[in-house]
Every structure is written in structure tokens, then in C-alpha cells.
Amino acid sequence: MLAKTSPKPTDVPAEPYAFELKPAECGLLIIDMQRDFLEPGGFGEMLGNDVSQLRRTIEPNRRLLAAWRAAGLLVMHTREGHRPDLSDLPPSKKIRGRSATSIGDKGPMGRILVRGEAGHDIIPELYPAPGEPVIDKPGKGAFHATDLHSILQHRGITQLVVTGVTTEVCVNTTVREANDRGYDCLVPEDCVGSYFPEFQEMGLKMIKAQGGIFGWVTTSSEILKAIG
């Protein structure tokens, strides 16, 4: 539920220049903070990834989420995954990587990236509250084959604070999709994570390069000051 009086528009220090945050028009979009990507023993770790690189984003996201909720602003969550019958899984995605275990197969927390399975769900620390839209997306971008754009338009949203994982894949793809649809995106760097430190750095640089070609980069503490 939205607050009757949202915080006032404020300039948030950011790169490449200050972001004019209009809280009443700004949604917090938390990308794919799912158990299989973040939890020890999940699919991400099974593939040999260092989940601590993603887990460091949990606490800053938790603080930002709490503040966003307290201000009565729009929160949305995404989950990457597929229908249990895999009818929305492109064959190319199923076989990419030539891994012995792939999407739809049994993994450590149920069938991998399948809706309804334990590993597909959002981590308890950031669990959606009742009324917060959860966007189930079959692709990397949150706009592809989802109703996200309609939800944002119906609520008069023109800006997004985008957080979550992974920086260079689903966060970057979503920011680029949002940018092409006319949304201004602000990315707090401590709230996004990659298994690969070099991709974290370059993923953020790509967003803010060339005068903010895809958006702005800041920190969660700057956003907290703006909406606090």
C-alpha cells in the first residue's frame, strides 16, 4: 500500500551525476534473490560459484527494503524460473553450457529454476510481504514475457531502484530493458552482486558510462538518507 505522503523529490549523490529521486514515482525492484543463487548448498554453489560474493548484498538489501516499506513506497520482486512442464523454457537455454545437470533437473533444493520448488523461492531475509508484486520471469530481463511494464504504468512509476543478482546478467539486462522503455534506473552498488568480482566492477561501469547510458550508480546509504 502506498503512503499518503511520500518523501519529497531529492537529489541522490550518484555517478555519473546526481539522480533526482521522486519517491512517489519510484519502485524498488529486487532481482532474483533466490535460494538457488544465494544459499550454501544451492545450485549456484553446486556449479562451483562462491556464494559469499552474492550473500554480502543481503544485509544492505534488507535495510533498503525495510526503509522502502516504512516509507510506503512500491516494492517488487522477481524470480527467474520456468513452468513445471518447462513449456516456457527455450530449448537453447536448456542445453546451454552442456552441463550434466540443467534447468528442470533435480538439484540440491528441488528441480532447478522451476516455479514452486524450494530453490526457486526468495531467501527468507528478503521474503516478499503480502501485496508486493512478484514477477516470475522466464528470461534474464524482468520485462521479457512478463507483465512488469503494465504494473509500473498502472502505478505511475517512472523510476526504478534496481537491486539483486547477478550484476552482469539479470540486473544489467533488466536495467537495459527498463532504460529502453523510458524508466530512469538507479543501482546501489552494495545491493547488487556477481560471483565474479571483475564482472561486478564492469557491470556497474557499463551502466554509468557515457553520461549514464543505461542509468546511475550509487550506494544504499545515499538512498536511505534520501528517503529516511
The C-alpha atoms of residue 45 and residue 221 are separated, in whole angstroms, by 29
We find the least distance from the C-beta atom of residue 165 to ligand C5J, in angstroms, to be 5
Among 36, 80, 177, 222, binds ligand C5J (CB under 6 A): 80
Interface mask (CB under 6 A) for ligand C5J, residues 144-183, using x and -? ---------------------xx--xx-------------
User: What value, to the nearest 5°, has the Cα angle with vertex 129 and ends 126 and 132?
Assistant: 105
In this complex, which beta carbon is closest to ligand C5J, that of residue 51 or of residue 170? 170
CB 227 within 8 A of CB 25: no
Candidates 170, 185, 191, 208; catalytic one = 170
Whichever of 2 and 145 has its CB closer to ligand C5J, that residue is 145
Binding mask 16-55 for ligand C5J (x = CB under 6 A): ----------------x-----------------------
**In this complex, which beta carbon is closest to ligand C5J, that of residue 169 or of residue 223?**
169
Residue 102 CB, shortest distance to ligand C5J, in Å, is 12
Length, in residues, of the chain: 228
Residue 190 among the catalytic residues: no
Which are the catalytic amino acids? Answer: 32, 137, 170
Q: Which spans of this chain sit near ligand C5J (rule: CB under 6 A)? A: 32, 80, 165-166, 169-170
